[in-house]
Structures are given as structure tokens and as C-alpha cells.
A = this chain, B = another copy of it.
């Protein structure tokens, strides 16, 4: 048994793309930058690369630390590293901050070269397929013709699924975790409340708050609080917080009364300190718009017909944002399209957040599937 360890210190890199890209919305960006990180070594055959796609609030910093005294490692440090399920001793792992992000890649807070001001409201909406396009361009730059695997949870899983459709020849395996083939009306509804919180914040200024020296913190805070409720399960929340009172008795006021209020407000405050509101809007719209079957009369089987990847689909029992039933829709469509698919439904009380958390059964499934991929690569 290999002992897993942290990958240690990592550094981000930046790629500049001067070839214009026309996005699904019809808008053309003449130039953009993507920040990314890589871990491990690309083999001579360039066949051991894995792309990890991030979800709504994630970024390119998947694992490791920037400085020895960094308190927080990358967001998937428990999954990626030497001896870990996504084993950097065997794979060359790539993480990218998506176009439209707020962690270094070109996004709404970047300077628009045409005006010398931040893009703000002029930054175009970006769809999952646009991200796949930009990620493919980064792969070109890195000399990766075909990924051994594209992996993602939630919105990241949608990117992995989209990769298999847009570039069947460039992805050998797709790991689609805690995801869905498209949002339901309820999913869209939650997103829209979050967006309305931001859009109606008086500090939003139609998206051009950078020039006004404001940040729509109130709206972003509410959006994150609401998001958090949907990331956790009712039971998990009950187990962790229940009706625990901050002070042991009712105070009859609007300050924190129950511990769950304290937790949510803290999460909202923290998030609104570092995340860009326009990026949040853009990410939720990418979620809403994702619907790969749309151009196939709503038939996911037909949408997946040309894919050539092997699939691992993973869901978590208490996830009600993207429930196991949603993952099973993907599995069913893949089976009907006669594709290779493995499916794991992991028992968990952590709701949607489970895809980010360390869990023995989950890691065992990921380890086994990825170990087979590694053996293919090195065969």
C-alpha cells in the first residue's frame, strides 16, 4: 500500500491566448489569459494527463500549498497528490481557472484592453462548451492531444461530460461526480434567487461596481448563504447544528440565535470577501444553460452517441442539489447509447458537498478506477 502525502509547494502559471475566441453567446474575445497549475510529470508518450475541472466557486489551485505557512491547501488536496487517488506519481494533473473566473484567468474583473477599465457588465456570459473549448486550447499549448481522463464534480462534472461530446477523440475517460445532465426548474430557481440578490444590491451598479469603488457584498453574501443550504443535507445539517442555541436560551432578537445561523452568516461573509460577484453570476448562468441534449431534441442518448470515453459516474445518497437520480439519468443514457460506464452511489450524509470531502468508500472507487487508467497508460 502506497503512503499518500501532500504534493507540497506548487505554483500557478499563466497562458496567454492571442487567437480570438467566439463564444456561444456570439461575443468574440480577441485575447484572454488562463491561469493553471500542473502537478506530476507528463510522460514521453504524453498519455498520462488528467484535467480536473472546477465547480462554481473553485479554481485552478487543486492541491498543495503556495507557501510553507499556507493554512489552506488546494480545494481537492485530499484527492490529488503522490499516492492519492489522483496519483501525481503516475499522472500529470492540470487544473485551470475557467474563463470568466476571478482567480487570475480573464474574467469580469479583468481590464478590458478596449477601454482600460474592468470588463464588468461588458464581459460575455460563458457556457460549459466555451470552457471546454478554452481548456482544449490550453491542452494544445501543453502538448496534450488526448487526456487520460477529464474529471469534475458538480459543474465540473458537466465540463467532463461536455468534453466527451465535443472532443470524443481527446478524452479516454470521464469521471462525472455529483453532477446532472441539466438543471431542474428548482435548481434554476435557487440560482435565480442568488442572482437577484446580487443584481438588486444597490452596490452592484449593473455589474460595473469596480469603477464605483463598491462591492455588492450583501447580495453575494446572501447568494452564498443560500448556496450553502443546498450543498448540505437536511440530516447532515441537523446532526451538526440541530437547534443548538448560541447562548443556551432565546434572546428574542435578530442576532444569531441558533448555531446554524452563525455558520451560514460566517460562510457568507467570508465568501463575499474574496469572490467576485460577476463571476458568481456567470457561473450560475453556465449551470442554467448546460443541456447537452438540447441540440439533439432533448435526447441525451443521441447527444452521447459519438462519445468514445469510458465513464465513471459517482453520486452521493444525501445530495439533493444533484441527487443520485440525476446521475442515474446520465448512466441510463450512456447504457442506452452502449457506452462503457461504471456507477457508484456513495452513502454519505454530507449532501452535495460530499464530492469535496474525504470519504473512504468514495476514495476507494476513485482510486480503483484511476488505477486502471494508470495501468492502461503505462501498459
Contacts and interface: CB of A to CB of B under 8 A. Distances in A.
A288 B186 contact: no
A197 B194 CA distance: 11
Nearest to A298: B243
Q: DSSP class of A's interface residues: helix, strand, loop or mixed?
A: helix
Contacts of A125: 252-253
Contact of A192 (B26, B190, B264): B264
Contacts of A237: 184-186, 189
A257 interface: yes
Interface centre among A25, A199, A258 (most CB of B within 10 A): A258
Contacts of A221: 196, 200
Given A238-B184, A240-B185, A229 B195 contact: no
Interface string A176-218: 0000001111101110110111011110000000000000001
B234 A195 contact: no
Contacts of A289: 250
A39 to B, nearest CB: 35
A260 to B, nearest CB: 4
Contacts of A222: 193, 196-197, 200, 222
Interface residues of A, number: 53
Contact of A229 (B189, B253, B257): B189
Interface in A269-295: 281, 285, 288-289, 291
A229 B196 contact: no
B238 A186 contact: yes
A289 B184 CA distance: 33
A347 interface: no
Contact of A261 (B188, B240, B252, B260): B188
